[in-house]
Structure 1
């Protein structure tokens, strides 16, 4: 599996975790730390455990698995790696904001991290080439990720000759993946967001077994789908509201569309053809 990098702090955290043989619980802690990198150096092991949904001893064992004497030593290392938050008196974040504003500001930060990751465009270009070449192109997204998959598939169908949207699980999901493979598909695009359905992981494992190259947009390089993805490009979700927000994954989907269009010489002609048909049918209010 290959992944893109995020902000410098995210990249340093991932470098700390990568190459380690982590248990699923420890991967969950690592995932939480990357998602909330700015907070981690200032949280106790109990607070980290609550955020990650694990026990406090699991956080201690995680620190030891990384080669530290315990969590305090890991936290000291994190403070060296992650910059301190901006001081509001020095022109940083506004001192007084409400919870709605903070949720929006957190999403803006997610978009900035995505922009930093796209400083190296090659992973997205590689994904675009894979998606453009797959005929048909299955696009998978279950539960919370269904909206992202649907949005991508809607626009992709305007330029790609055969897009197959997969947003329903159940016993037919593997059959539909098999059908796409028999029809000639070489790749599959997956959107995977928390909480990650087991069906998504199982479907991607099946797709790989059938010979499909799996490109995944996920909330973190440590998401459960990472081990069943050939190319994973992370885009963080916002966690400041009752339900996660997914502006960065949505925008990354549009970026992938752009990269896919670059690999489809007929894309512009298809768009122009659609505009002509839409005008003749009076589809849109002027």
Structure 2
């Protein structure tokens, strides 16, 4: 556990407030949630942006030492926040974006969250649609099998297509410089082959009655996780006896949690969390 994670967990426990755990996805760091943490804190929650294993503290450090991301798998990454959540005194709400949205659903399927929000979530075993835009977004990793064991950065052009297609050029460059870091290749290969591998770790227990309420948020213009994938995930989650909802945010791409309109998405998530936690 990093000192930052330890400090956040201790503060949440000392506060006596309901924790809200934010889980980032590929090519981002916990700091991508900083504005969300402040926003949820102001509304009375104890907000935490927990790390993936070995996450650097800053974007500059991450880009200087990309090797720290290499080799991380879905199983390793999912077990890490699960262990950290186990140190909280109260069951948290969990909010995740992209691969963090997949991790959010894995954690919910383990019965670890009181309520969950998965934003543009990466697909799990059983989710079948493969839109062309999603394949193009993942091509920087999947085009080279050796990337499975590497950390892979995105070029600006790749980030522009996969994350920042729904914002202007100036904002897209600012988002890239402010937030983009390398990412492990293994999780994308695991997600891409999940429907061929019965033992994959990229799977979700959608039937667990302890899953709790779940909201899936989809960005209308998302290239990486378009509506077809988000809606397929939603349909699988409908098998759960808990509340399961989906909503689409008009005009938004995959960068919807970090771009100029982040607060609209945060309010959508907060409204759902408030209903149950």
Normalization by structure 2: what TM-score?
A: 0.33
Q: Which has more radius of gyration?
A: 1
Normalization by structure 1: what TM-score?
A: 0.32
Larger helix percent:
1
